[in-house]
Structure 1
Amino acid sequence: MVKVLRTKPELCTECYKCEEICSTNFTKSINKELSAIKIGARSQDTGLVSIVACDQCGNCIEVCPVQAIYRAKNGTVLIRKSECVGCYSCVGFCPAGAMQKHLSMDEPYKCIACGKCAKECPARALYIEEI
């Protein structure tokens, strides 16, 4: 079984609580630029908010030239920071656009489906699913 963060964009109120929770847990600072989940613009066509988070597909594993990205025993795709060379190939390759980079960090980062954002989402626009 793999834990995956799923979204219900139709419920999102754009409070950005998920980005705050994610960045706080990941970097110990409130900085939405360092969040592994991204809330984007509301589509004029559908009226839905864009919510970008890793779906644990694992496509990035094959792209990593040093095999720093792997699937853990629990199914979550993780990055071995000590082995990452910072080439960011995975960032450009990610089909969901969920692999992130920031100038203050030497390696990419992504959602690991910890579920903390889902627990704190007041609109229940996020949830963890085991597949």
Structure 2
Amino acid sequence: MRQLRIDLTKCNYGKDCAHECESACATRVFKLDDPALAALHIRDHGDGTGTTILCDQCGDCVVVCPAEALKRNKLGVVMINKSLCVGCYMCVGFCEKEAFERNPDWAEPYKCTSCGICVKACPHAALEIVDVPEPAYRII
């Protein structure tokens, strides 16, 4: 399955790139003008450390979706079927990684789809798309 990974030894939490990867995700993938609405977030804590928020495609959200709007595609990436999504946000509340985003103009949430746009935009080559085995779902 495809998974977006970040190498934190290469990332400097947007100090040089001004979050080029977030901007690329928001504008090119989701057609939004605001990088804060990207599906990838890189945050500098100001003390030399930082946090990244991204979907690792674990698939746990698939199990809790009452509308069955979340499914893995042929690459193993969890995708949201907008026509099935009822906007209940169960996936948002269940995701421990806080990988789902909300746009006030949209009924359904959205998340990273490991498309790779951010990988090309990262000036430090800290992001990459890797193939990993599909994990087992958690028992809830």
Q: TM-score with structure 2 length normalisation? A: 0.85
Q: Is the 8 A contact 2:5 2:127 kept in 1?
A: yes
| Equivalent position of 1:53 in the other structure | 54
Deviation of 1:117 after TM superposition, in Å, equals 0.4
Offset from partner CA, 1:27-73 (integer Å, 9 cap, x none): 323311220001123274xx322111100000000110110001112
Cα RMSD over matched residues?
Answer: 1.4
The alignment of Structure 1 onto Structure 2 pairs a total of residues equal to: 128
Q: How far, CA to CA, are the matches of 2:46 and 2:128 in structure 1?
A: 21
| Equivalent position of 1:36 in the other structure | 39
From 22, 43, 65, give the equivalent of 2:25: 22
| Equivalent position of 1:80 in the other structure | 81
Q: How far, CA to CA, are the matches of 1:95 and 1:10 in structure 2?
A: 23
Aligned to 1:90, the other structure's residue is in SS state helix
5 Å-filtered alignment, 1:46-125, equals: 47-125=48-126
Q: How far, CA to CA, are the matches of 1:121 and 1:99 in structure 2?
A: 21
Unaligned runs of 5+ in 2: 133-140
Distance 1:64 1:43, change over 3 A: farther
Query: Are residues 1:8 and 2:11 paired?
Result: no
Q: TM-score with structure 1 length normalisation? A: 0.90
Q: Is the 8 A contact 2:92 2:98 kept in 1?
A: yes
**Structure 1 residue runs of 4+, over 6 Å off?**
none
More helix by share: 1
